[in-house]
Amino acid sequence: MTPAQIETFFATLQAANPLPASELEYTSVFELLTAVLLSAQATDVGVNKATRRLFPVANTPQQIIDLGQERLEDHIKTIGLFRSKAKHLMQTCRILVERHGGQVPGTRAELEALPGVGRKTANVVLNVAFGEPTMAVDTHIFRVANRTGLAPGKNPLQVEQGLLRRVPGKYLNHAHHWLILHGRYVCVARTPRCWECAVAACCDYQPKTPAPGSR
């Protein structure tokens, strides 16, 4: 994908969705961190279903601690790997209370020091909560970046670094969400919906998937 095509690619996505947002439901930085921590190997729909039960009862680190491990597990048991996620969340809450005054820190090093928080989760929090131009590479972004030729890479870190180099600065803050939504609904895994893709002309993928019934 050429620089001119990349510009057109993001200008088109921006025109269609000027202010993209996460599909995870949250009302605070801590709720965002919790939702992203719970989202590993789970859908946003599944996470939202669980947090709608959890957050009205406990939506601060101290409230999660007060809830206790067993009751926390009960609130999130519909999510895969809920026991290990509850353990990580409980450990994270203790660190937030003991070291950060109950607040979510705003640096990568401090975020990645929290149990269950890796580079991708830290990138989401830094981007969404603190407005940093980071790129959290999930399966959708990894696929879109490689398939379109936007930022090919053999692993998520290579793709992340490629995107940070190639995405024009004016689009970086929202690029994470545009790419996720594009991968989730249009540039899907098995059969990309090229016939309804607004940026198909910028994309290296060949052959384009024809519209159903057009063959």
Residue 189 is classified by DSSP as S
In 3D space, the residue among 19, 20, 12, 7 whose CA is nearest the CA of residue 166 turns out to be: 7
Q: Answer whether residue 215 shows pLDDT above 70.
A: no
Catalytic pick among 77, 85, 138, 170: 138
pLDDT in tens, 42-92: 888 999 999 999 999 999 999 999 999 999 999 999 898 889 999 999 999
The question of whether 138 is a catalytic residue gets the answer yes
CATH code linked to domain 3-19+135-202: 1.10.1670.10
**How confident is the model over 119-130, as pLDDT tens digits?**
989 999 998 888
Mean pLDDT of 169-192: 92
Q: Is the pLDDT of residue 132 over 90?
A: no
Q: What is the mean pLDDT of the chain?
A: 92
Residue 85: phi, psi to the nearest 5? -70, -40
Per-residue pLDDT tens digits for 100-120: 999 999 999 999 999 989 898
The full set of domain ranges for the chain reads: 3-19+135-202, 29-128
Of 38, 9, 6, 14, nearest to 25 (Cα)? 38
List the CATH code of the domain at 29-128.
1.10.340.30
208 catalytic residue (yes or no): no
Separation CA 42–CA 24 (nearest Å): 11
Question: Which 8-state DSSP code applies to residue 209?
Answer: P
Give the pTM: 0.82
Confidence of residue 33 (pLDDT cuts 50, 70, 90): very high
Of 49, 120, 170, 204, the active-site residue reads 120
